[in-house]
Homo-oligomer: A and B are copies of this chain.
């Protein structure tokens, strides 16, 4: 297992292997592969995944919620993280598991603690796609989101981390079996990315590799065994995961 840089034109992407971890000075080994010949894992193993609820007005409304006055935070455990093409496993406890396509922020070194807006922007290493998979029935029953959003495999991340991206107005899309279910734009985020990073960093120190999920647009809907769910954030790429029953 190693890190690499994805480069080239969209029809012929290649992966150039990095010597060590991408958070340091990047130096390349001599290894190059066609992207199709590589199995991508989650591009980061975060110490924590901090999520933001109700950050698009239309999504808050579709679940009957008000837009919050401050960012609404919750956590997904690191054990929920999977990579591209890994299976989302439907737990027996739920009869209604849903997709939530999101833009994810990856924090770089040295992290962020009580960062103002400018420091928050500097703390961002890059962006990836995320699926904040949610057992909607358990979320409603529990009130606390932890169980509903914390099952193993409920946090697909990937396909890679895109650096140097202007995320102020990107399309966020979710397709289930190539049918579009969610379609939003990051310009409609109630709290924008620097605001979120700064806000979280005033509560808990963000460590390098930590991930913030910025909220999901309207259109959340159930997924079933046999489906393939694809999250696509403009300028990043496709995060596709099959859905399987746990047993």
Interface residues of A (CB under 8 A from B): 47-48, 50, 53, 72-75, 77-80, 91, 93, 113, 142-147, 150-152, 202-205, 207
A79 close to B150 (CB less than 8 A):
no
A75 close to B150 (CB less than 8 A):
yes
CA–CA, A147 and B201, complex, Å:
11
Q: Which of B53, B144, B203, B204 contacts A74 (CB 8 A)?
A: B144
A152 close to B72 (CB less than 8 A):
no
CA–CA, A80 and B203, complex, Å:
10
CB<8 Å pairs between A and B, sample of 27: A47-B47, A47-B79, A48-B77, A48-B78, A48-B79, A50-B77, A50-B146, A72-B142, A72-B144, A73-B142, A73-B147, A73-B150, A74-B144, A74-B146, A75-B75, A75-B146, A75-B150, A79-B204, A80-B204, A91-B203, A143-B143, A144-B144, A150-B203, A150-B204, A151-B203, A151-B204, A152-B204
The interface residues of chain B lying within 8 Å CB-to-CB of A202 are: 91, 93
A79 close to B207 (CB less than 8 A):
yes
By beta carbon, the residue of chain B nearest A113 is: B152
Q: What is the minimal beta-carbon distance from A86 to any residue of chain B, in angstroms? A: 14
The interface residues of chain B lying within 8 Å CB-to-CB of A50 are: 77, 146
Interface of A is mostly: loop
Q: Which of B47, B144, B146, B152 contacts A205 (CB 8 A)?
A: B152
CA–CA, A146 and B77, complex, Å:
12
Q: What is the minimal beta-carbon distance from A84 to any residue of chain B, in angstroms? A: 20
The interface residues of chain B lying within 8 Å CB-to-CB of A48 are: 77-79
B147 close to A145 (CB less than 8 A):
no
By beta carbon, the residue of chain B nearest A45 is: B47
By beta carbon, the residue of chain B nearest A202 is: B93
Q: Which of B47, B91, B142 contacts A78 (CB 8 A)?
A: B47
Q: Counting chain B CB atoms within 10 Å of each CB, which of A79, A143, A152 scores highest?
A: A79
By beta carbon, the residue of chain B nearest A75 is: B75
The interface residues of chain B lying within 8 Å CB-to-CB of A113 are: 152
The interface residues of chain B lying within 8 Å CB-to-CB of A75 are: 75, 77, 146, 150
CA–CA, A179 and B143, complex, Å:
34
The interface residues of chain B lying within 8 Å CB-to-CB of A204 are: 77, 79-80, 150-152
7 new A-B pairs (CB below 8 Å) besides A48-B77, A79-B205? A47-B79, A50-B146, A73-B144, A73-B147, A93-B202, A143-B143, A150-B203
